Structure 1
Amino acid sequence: MAEPVKVRRLTDQEGQRLQQIVRRGSTGSVRLRRAMMILASAGGNRVPVIAQVVQADEDADEDTVREVLHRFNEIGLACLGPQWAGGRPRLLGPDQDDLVAATATTRPATLDQPLHALVDPQTRRLPAHHRRRADPDRP
């Protein structure tokens, strides 16, 4: 059977900082709960008890407590901050960044004259031989 999960011994500074977070309660709820988990573990409580005290998420109650305790043992107080990343995932890879930057900053060789001189006034479009497809791999 595996050994119960506990936090390592807290330094004085870590203990004071955790106490400050729990007493004030002015930080975000995630930081507050995580600080409570660490303090409860340092006080000798086991994971199921900590999960009930902190009322961790229903989906991952005890697992969440274990993850926080392991992260604290690895990186210290940095584990208190949530590591959420928002936004849409990147569509371009790092190797394509240079190509995009080079394309955006260079003037096409076919444009020896100003762009407005090339535009057909009736259709308001470039002549066909000056148009490029957005995706060069697409036929």
Structure 2
Amino acid sequence: MAQPVRVRGLTEREGQKLQHIVRRGSTSSVRFRRAMMLLASAGGSTVPVIARLVQADEDTVRDVIHRFNEIGLACLSPRWAGGRPRLLDRDDEDFVVQTATTRPT
């Protein structure tokens, strides 16, 4: 059986930063939930318990913990994907804007 996923030992600064985020609660909801996950794991909670606590999927909790163990507090900020590729390049966009803002003859 595989070892349970846990955060590495928190430094004092990391612990204070995570507690600050959770106590204030005025940060983004993503940062708040991720900080909750990390603090709960550092407190000894298992992944299924943490997932129920923050109402997230267990795989999401594991991903956040692994990412924290790799890169530290930078894992709190979401990495949003770029989305759909642009259909217009800059030149086409400039042409459309120029045409739309030109007074008709």
Query: Do Structure 1 and Structure 2 share a fold, with TM-score over 0.5?
Result: yes
1:13 partner amino acid = R
**Deviation, structure 1 residue 51:** 0.4
Q: How much identity, in percent, do the aligned residues show?
A: 79
**Cα separation, 1, equivalents of 2:12 and 2:83:** 38
Kindly report structure 1 stretches of 4+ aligned residues shifted beyond 3 Å.
none
1:23 partner amino acid = R
TM-score (norm 2): 0.79
Runs (5+) with no aligned partner, structure 2: 88-105
**Deviation, structure 1 residue 55:** 1.0
1:63 partner amino acid = D
**Deviation, structure 1 residue 45:** 0.4
Could you list the per-position Cα deviations for residues 34-58 of structure 1 after superposition, in whole angstroms to 9, with x for gaps in the alignment?
Answer: 00000000000000000011111xx
> Which residue of structure 2 aligns with residue 32 of structure 1?
32
**Cα separation, 1, equivalents of 2:2 and 2:49:** 18
Q: Which fold has the larger relative contact order, with Cα–Cα distance below 8 Å and residues 6 or more apart in sequence?
A: 2
Counting matched residue pairs gives 91
2:66 partner amino acid = H
Q: Equivalent residues in 2 for 1:33-112 (5 A)? A: 33-56=33-56, 61-89=57-85
1:64 partner amino acid = T
More helix by proportion, 1 or 2?
Answer: 2
**Deviation, structure 1 residue 88:** 3.2
**Cα separation, 2, equivalents of 1:90 and 1:64:** 29
TM-score (norm 1): 0.60
